[in-house]
Structure 1
Amino acid sequence: MATQSDPIFETVTAPGTPFELGLRDGMRRFVNIPSDIGQMLETARGHGNRIALVDGDIRLSFSDLFARRDALAAVLDIRRGDRVAICMRNRSEWMVAFLAAIRCGGVAALLNSRGSPAELCAAIDDVAPAVVLADRDRAARLREGGFAGRLIAAADFPAPGDALPPAVAPANPGDPAAILFTSGTTGRVKGAVLTHENLMTGILGMQLSGTMVLHNTAKQLGIPVATILANLPQQSVMLAAPLFHISGLGAGFLAPLLAGSKVVMVRRWSAESAVDLIEREQVTMFSGVPTMMWDIVNAGKHRGANLSSLRNVGMGGQALPVGLLDEFRAACPDVVMGTGYGMTETAGSVAMGVGADFIRKSASAGRALSLVEMRIAGADGTDLPAGAVGEIVVRGPMVMQGYWQQPEATADVLSPDGWLKTGDIGYLDDEGYLFIVDRAKDMVISGGENIYCAEVERIINAMPGVAECAAFGIPDDRLGELLVARVVSETLDGAAVIAEVAEKLARYKAPAMVRVDLAPLPRNDVGKIDKRRLRADWTQAEGIDA
């Protein structure tokens, strides 16, 4: 973590700078941010005729994007604090919808576009939106699920014209700005409420980290920062993460928007399309899970593609596979690589390692960002020393307000003085680098998607003929982990179980493999299903190196 003894840190956070820091309510904060993220986003209009977004054949300048935003905002007809649900796949209208909701004082509730009709309607019921903005397919799912409220389809968004958005008083920094849904280990979907300050802190935290890298690069090269900036072309960011994820919303959309970068959308991930976009749009920045990085490296080799435009690559979402770092550096010798650790509840990253830091300790998740207080807590809640393994606990102005209308769930993870229990297990070394050794209980990360086992088990256990079940992850070379399940039943087969989960939940949450037999599941000393043994038995039977 940068400290006040770092002269570059002192320079970029000095009084009067965008990153000036101050103390309020016991936390360090950015003091020059506005009270309302809408005011911050409005500054991006000044990028004018620069290309803001490439979505297939659609190319929108910043002026175009804001003109479409204004047209939609003029017809939303909401009041400050009303929820506006956004339910669509990544597309230009998603961005227009978010900007319009914020412009009108709404709270953007971001629905998982991959959800089943039941899942989507459960989220809708939870937040009771004044209006839903959806693409055609999701609108049909919502109606199928029984939603009968006000809905504006993306195809019906108004064209830019003379209509102006209504005047709205600025929000307070602690007012809700967005609700992002995250499944919990109980299997019940929770809406993490992020305030205006949460979102702005998350964005500025990323920008501060990038500014530090820029100043260090300038120092190493002996070139003034102003000279580098004056000769820097427009950055081009490839967006593959879903916009309803905090990584897609923050790093993939809002941060590039404010920086005047071009966002290049990947509608459906494929290695070939990604490589084509990198070449055609001269993509300079990309963040994704290691699965995607392997795809890019392998497709680049196969096609003889020129990937030299890539300058900044971020990896996260699952452990970095051995050899990927060297392979990617061989394909893109000039790339600056990085990694990070964060979650929806912290409005993005709370730790980051970039460039030399990342290369030197590539097994780590980097060091805590400047405004993040981080500690490792033992079972009794006391702080543990460097090297000791415990729960990662964080505090700062990026930590969520709580879970929407779930005070008990909020109290379980968030202390009255703002410390968030992440549920992740790790340790800090003597230099402050964070190492993750285990993740939130019963969660599998497959291809960068979080799948909570309790959610899957709830569906399987509800099937007639199931005596008991357990879902868990096993190692997979490409996806990082593969979700599998053991089911005790006399009447079911694996295909039926997979089909049931795919129907009741999003398809990507369905187990890839299911074993059904009559043997009871192993249990530990306290009577709980022993998933560690299940995982070991499965990998041993399959000959997988765990």
Structure 2
Amino acid sequence: MPEVIYDPNYPAPDVLPESGFYDYLFGDESPLGKFDKSLPAYIDGLDGRVLTRGGLENSCLRLVSGLRALGVQRNDVACLWGLNSLEWARTAYGCLAAGVTVSPANYAYAAHEIAHQLNDSGAGIIFLDPTLIPMFDAARKEIKRPFSNERVILLCTPERKPKELAQYKAFEEILGARAEPEHFTGSQIRDTAFLCYSSGTTGLPKGVMTTHNNMTSQLQALNIGYEQLESGRDTVLGILPYSHIYGLTIVFFQPFTVGVPLVVLPRFEEISVLSAIQKFKITHGLIVPPIIIILLNSSNVDNYDLSSVRTFMVGAAPTSPELSESFSRRFPHITLTQGYGMTECSPTTHVCNGAEVAGRAGWIGRLLPTFQARLVTEDGVDAAHGERGELWVRGPSVMKGYLNNPEATEKTMAPGGWYKTGDVLITDDQGWYKVVDRVKELIKYKGFQVAPAELEGLLLQHDKVADVGVIGVWEESQATELPRAYIVPKPSADLKSGAAREAFRAEIASWLADRVAQHKRLRGGVVIVETIPKSPSGKILRKDLRVRAQAERDAEVQLRAKM
């Protein structure tokens, strides 16, 4: 059967840039040079500090000389580990100017998680929030490459550097004189610009090699199909973590490419977000479904002027039609749109903008320009039009591969350059797509990926656990999946009484919470079972666990109805 290839409905970019990412953003030949350098690029949503486009460029070139003085060379890797901030922004751009690969890390990482990323990426310098120094110190015993103090840089101003951390320099303390940036031309545009870590379905997170060309192509495509933001009119809310590819590309970089300022907040906190919307007259925001739930149930929104907001885009996890409709009733002046993507695609493959979304609640949008798509059945043939199939995509924004993991790269790529997303979609005659199932085993907790196998590997190290299977269970009130562990205890656990079983469940949840980032905690609970369902080859049958979870949920609903 021949391949059924879907092309985008949007027009293609006139010309895709053939330059390094920094030159695309600041180079003399860049179309972005049309924007006045006095325009604000990033605004601190807490203290009101403004970083202009010209100030950002100057900071970049000063960091180039600072990095070179430390012996950091082109294509070395720098880890950025901290909450969203102007210092994070200046560091990311400055590393790009120096030709350094940026590997952002989740602020919530535990010691062994940051150690894994540092070891796998080969990072030779780390920029981190001062509050993370104790966690970094705890990780040092697992880090294979020692970090001298001069290569541990604090993401704060010198004035805010804690006195007890005097042995480390703050970001501004390593800046030197302006220096010439590194240029990437020809085949060099396929050098790795970013190493974000994505939780695949097995093992620890994998480093996704995102090239300069991946990013410039992605931003060109976004600027055609995405929400049409205008310089001088719009201001964007920047709360999603820039360590996540969604936050990095669409929140952090895309507004800069259209001359629109981003209001930077360290994380989502209801009052600070509502205050920022009112103070800075924010017109567009990028959020995840759990934020919708908070705003719907908030008793504070009526105390703030949110009239400036026109659109919110929801990504990183599906949004149900019911949730979208509830939001529209509460906030009729805000148009809610959706998008879809993954780290391996830099990340966005599908979008819809405010002008298109009416009557399309629950749909993820249309295919972005530069991409092609296929929907492939379990038999490996292309689905008939209108039928469901696993989404395969290809285009210049698809990753170069997984760092140090050619086997995983081979498994996720099909001949012809197709990346297998692991999600099952349908499409209609107008080129709209909807996610209807997932082949992958990943758990999506509030937009963050959680690999069941990683949690299982940790839980098996507990001296009372004989076997374990982890799945995600849907929690409607939070609009997200919650990790749940089904555990076979060892006989030595002695769980004969109800109190002993309850204490065991609490012990397991607490034990894991001490070893993982917050989004990986067992918020879905710990269930004690006699066996874990497995295939003849030993593979955990998660579909059977999901059936069990649904039965447990149904029984709970029936019990409540009788009360």
Q: Match of 2:279?
A: 280
Q: Does 1:538 align with 2:552?
A: yes
Report deviation, 1:187. 2.3
Deviations 1:303-358 (A, max 9, x none): 34321111221112223234433343345444443211100000021011223532
Is 1:187 the counterpart of 2:203? The answer is: yes
Any conservation in 1 of the 2:472–2:524 contact (CA below 8 Å)? no
Structure 1: distance between partners of 2:381 and 2:412? 15
Q: Judge which range, 123-132 or 290-299, deviates more.
A: 290-299
1:115 to 109, 113, 117: 109
Residue in 1 aligned with 2:260?
261
Matching of residue 426 in structure 1 with residue 429 in structure 2: no
Identity %: 25
Identify the range of structure 1 (282-291 vs 260-269) with the bigger mean alpha-carbon deviation. Answer: 260-269
Q: Which amino acid aligns with 2:134?
A: A
Residue 483 of structure 2 corresponds to residue 483 of structure 1: yes
Q: Secondary structure at the match of 1:329?
A: helix
Is the contact made by 1:275 and 1:299 (CA closer than 8 Å) also made in structure 2? no
Tell me the residue number matched to 2:510.
499
CA distance 1:258–1:518, change in 2 (3 Å): closer
SS at match of 2:514: helix
Taking the TM superposition and a 5 Å limit, the aligned residue runs for 1:40-59 are 40-42=24-26, 46-55=35-44, 56-57=46-47, 58-59=49-50
Mapping for residues 145-224 of structure 1, pairs under 5 Å: 145-146=139-140, 147=143, 148-149=146-147, 150-155=151-156, 156-158=170-172, 163-171=177-185, 172-210=188-226
Give, in whole Å, the separation in 1 of the partners of 2:60 and 2:204.
33
Alignment of 1:509 with 2:520, yes or no, is yes
> For structure 1, which segment, 462-471 or 151-160, has the greater mean C-alpha deviation from structure 2 after superposition?
151-160
User: What is the aligned partner in structure 2 of residue 448 from structure 1?
Assistant: 447
- State the shift of 1:192 in Å: 0.5
Q: Which residue of 2 aligns with 1:519?
A: 530
Distance 1:299 1:497, change over 3 A: same
1:158 positional shift:
2.3
SS in 1 for 2:328: helix
Q: How far, CA to CA, are the matches of 1:162 and 1:474 in structure 2?
A: 51
Helix, strand or coil: the match of 2:552? Answer: helix
The offset of 1:375, in angstroms, is: 0.5
Question: Conserved in 1, the CA contact under 8 Å of 2:443 and 2:452?
Answer: yes
Tell me, in whole angstroms, the C-alpha distance in 2 between the residues paired with 1:2 and 1:235.
33
Change (3 A) 1:407 1:90: same
Q: Is this contact kept in 2: 1:71–1:158, CA < 8 A?
A: no
The verdict on how the C-alpha distance between 1:394 and 1:300 changes in structure 2, with shifts beyond 3 A counting, is farther
The whole-number CA distance in structure 2 between the counterparts of 1:169 and 1:64 is 20
1:217 maps to: none
Q: Specify the alignment match of 1:35 in structure 2.
A: 19
Q: 1:531 to 1:47 in 2, by over 3 A?
A: farther
Q: For 1:200 and 1:300, locate their aligned partners in 2 and report how far apart those are by CA, in whole Å.
A: 42
Contact 1:203 / 1:255 at 8 angstroms: preserved in 2? yes
- How far apart are the structure 1 equivalents of 2:326 and 2:100? 45
Deviation at 1:267? 1.7
Structure 2, unmatched stretches of 5+, are 157-169, 494-502
Q: Secondary structure at the match of 1:435?
A: strand
Rounded to whole Å, the distance in 1 between the matches of 2:7 and 2:524 is 49
Q: Which sections of structure 1, spanning at least 5 residues, go unmatched?
A: 14-18, 21-29, 215-228
Q: Report the alpha carbon displacement of residue 253 of structure 1 after superposing the two structures with TM.
A: 0.9
Amino acid at match of 2:528: D
How much is the aligned-residue C-alpha RMSD, in angstroms? 2.7
Residues 482-491 or 517-526, more deviating: 517-526
- Structure 1 Cα separation of the partners of residues 404 and 514 of structure 2: 28
For 2:122 and 2:528, the matched residues in 1 are separated by 43
Deviation at 1:525, TM superposition (A): 8.0
- The AA in structure 1 aligned to 2:441 is D
Retained in 1: the 8 A contact 2:232–2:260? no
Distance 1:66 1:300 in 2: 42
Instruction: Give the 5 Å matches for 1:269-308.
Output: 269-299=268-298, 302-308=301-307
For the pair 1:67 / 2:55, whether they are aligned, the reply is no
Q: Structure 1 pair 323/536, CA: closer, same or farther in 2 (3 Å)?
A: closer
Query: 2: CA distance between counterparts of 1:210 and 1:118?
Result: 37
| Paired residues of 1:237 and 1:285 also in contact (CA < 8 A) | yes
Instruction: Say if 1:488 and 1:517, in contact at 8 Å, map to a contact too.
Output: yes
Structure 1 partner of 2:164: none
Q: Choose 139-148 or 80-89, whichever is displaced more.
A: 139-148
Superposed, which structure 2 residues align to 1:302-317 within 5 Å?
Answer: 302-317=301-316
Amino acid across the alignment from 1:169: H
Q: Which has the higher contact order (CA 8 A, sep 6+)?
A: 2
> Alpha carbons of 1:316 and 1:393: their partners in 2 closer, same or farther (altered >3 Å)?
same
1:132 partner SS: strand
Distance 1:162 1:448, change over 3 A: closer
Deviations 1:236-293 (A, max 9, x none): 1111211111111111111112222121122232222211111111111101112212
Q: CA deviation at 1:397?
A: 0.5
Which residue of the partner structure matches residue 499 of structure 2? none
**C-alpha distance in structure 2 between counterparts of 1:204 and 1:344, whole Å:** 17
On the 8 A contact 1:104/1:165 being kept in 2, the answer is: no
TM-score by length of 1: 0.86
Q: Decide whether the 8 Å contact of 1:38 with 1:102 is kept in 2.
A: yes
- Quote the offset at 1:166 in angstroms: 4.1
- The runs of 4+ residues in structure 1 deviating greater than 4 Å are 1-4, 43-46, 159-162, 522-527
Deviation at 1:197, TM superposition (A): 1.0
Q: Is the 8 A contact 1:312 1:335 kept in 2?
A: yes
- Secondary structure of the residue aligned to 2:424 is strand
Tell me the CA shift for residue 440 of structure 1.
4.7
Residue 377 of structure 1 is matched in structure 2 by 376
Deviations 1:151-175 (A, max 9, x none): 2222411269770124533242212
For the 8 Å contact 1:447–1:481, the answer to whether it is kept is yes
What SS does the corresponding residue of 1:469 show, helix, strand or coil?
A: strand
The 1-side partners of 2:174 and 2:454 are apart by 42
CA contact (8 A) 2:349 2:367 kept: yes
**Residue 331 to residue 66, structure 1, CA distance change in 2 (3 Å):** farther
Q: Aligned equivalents of 1:290 and 1:281: distance in 2?
A: 23
**TM-score of the superposed pair, with normalisation by structure 2:** 0.84
Correspondence for 1:102 among 91, 96, 99 = 96
